[in-house]
A and B are shown apart, each in its own frame.
Chain A
């Protein structure tokens, strides 16, 4: 067993909001089955070039740290930075950041279909590094903590959210009508608006609590 505390410290010092180690062995397709630990990394910043660069830098640090120990690593880059034109790109879709985040106890899948962290809400950007290093794992979150709240479901302008409750025991449950969300996105693009409406992020009470807190800290 390898102590993961130094890795977490390193990444947090470099700007990560959250770092967790998850045992993901049950969620892996055959091609990547040997990489049974997921290092979930999140940054709490708006989705822009800077945060993507920060996330990629953090991934790079994690890779180096793992390589130094003599283990394998496979970085799954942030969803908004799926570098194309590389051979490994094709394998990225075999793994989803949500798996690593829930398995490492950093959040649950909310009714909005996004990872919700109890402190930061659902506005985090995620990246994952898979590895075969026997890192000490964190405790997984197995159930949704959304409770009866249905704000995102009610406010979604495309009616894309089903309002179901997530549980780790039923990971394949469909939470979102993705085609409806996509249709709204392309509609918005036609009218020269930003494609993401982001209402499901901003309306979430956990996200609002987090923003309030950070605003207070700024003042």
Chain B
């Protein structure tokens, strides 16, 4: 087992790799963590996620903008891809699977991708349908995978109008499934009216929310470890 100094160094490398959107550093750091026999979950949360928290701060302070955020997320994924196969199933009280996609007629998926990142980090099984997804495909996929959660995204009002149909169909067949909607034209009122269980406004807000949720997961995990 690696000593504490080495461990700290590797986590710092992962953290900085995410903040400086340096994919190679993240890959190296992740490989070092595995080689040193470190706990993969810990490396994700104390390294990668801790970096993403700082990125969230930089974004709020308007030092980072959308391109940096996307590159940071790419760097996080580069590390995550290596660490994930070594992860033990986390027990945070939240686990399960989610179907996510941008609805038919819409090709905007930056926000969707950032939200997806949160689920990936949290250890969900993510079924990403991509963008411009036919409405029935959401229903089909939900039934097939029996996911607890379905996330629908749209940036244009014209494509958003397909959302209530999907919600209705899924709820009809599977009332317990939670549905979240997101994208610029959505609102809390619409979510309520259509019977969705949650909503996020746009990529920036989705990102803030996603990072907040990831940070919350990290806190949960830390508390659990303390006990």
Contacts and interface: CB of A to CB of B under 8 A. Distances in A.
A74 interface: yes
A74 B67 contact: yes
A72 B21 CA distance: 10
Interface string B41-73: 000000000000000000000000111101101
A88 interface: yes
Contacts of A31: 65-67
B22 A34 contact: no
B110 to A, nearest CB: 6
Contacts of B113: 87
Contacts of A4: none
Interface in B2-25: 20, 22
A203 B67 CA distance: 39
A91 B70 contact: yes
Interface string A141-180: 0000000000000000000000000000000000000000
A32 B22 contact: no
Interface string B137-162: 00000000000000000000000000
Interface in A3-41: 31-32, 34-35
B106 interface: no
Interface residues of B, number: 15
A87 B22 contact: no
Contact of A67 (B22, B70, B73): B22
B74 A88 contact: yes
A87 B70 contact: yes
A35 B71 CA distance: 14
A133 B67 CA distance: 16
Nearest to B78: A86
Contacts of B22: 67
Nearest to B64: A72
B110 A34 contact: no
B174 to A, nearest CB: 30
B20 A32 contact: no
A87 B68 contact: no
B66 A72 contact: no
A93 interface: no
Given A86-B74, A88-B67, 17 more contacts: A31-B66, A31-B67, A32-B65, A32-B67, A35-B67, A67-B20, A67-B22, A74-B71, A87-B70, A87-B77, A87-B113, A87-B114, A88-B71, A90-B70, A90-B109, A90-B110, A91-B66
5 shortest interchain CB distances as A-B pairs: A87-B70, A88-B70, A86-B74, A74-B67, A87-B73
23 contacts: A31-B65, A31-B66, A31-B67, A34-B65, A35-B67, A67-B20, A67-B22, A74-B67, A87-B70, A87-B71, A87-B73, A87-B77, A87-B110, A87-B114, A88-B67, A88-B70, A88-B71, A88-B74, A90-B70, A90-B110, A91-B66, A91-B67, A91-B70
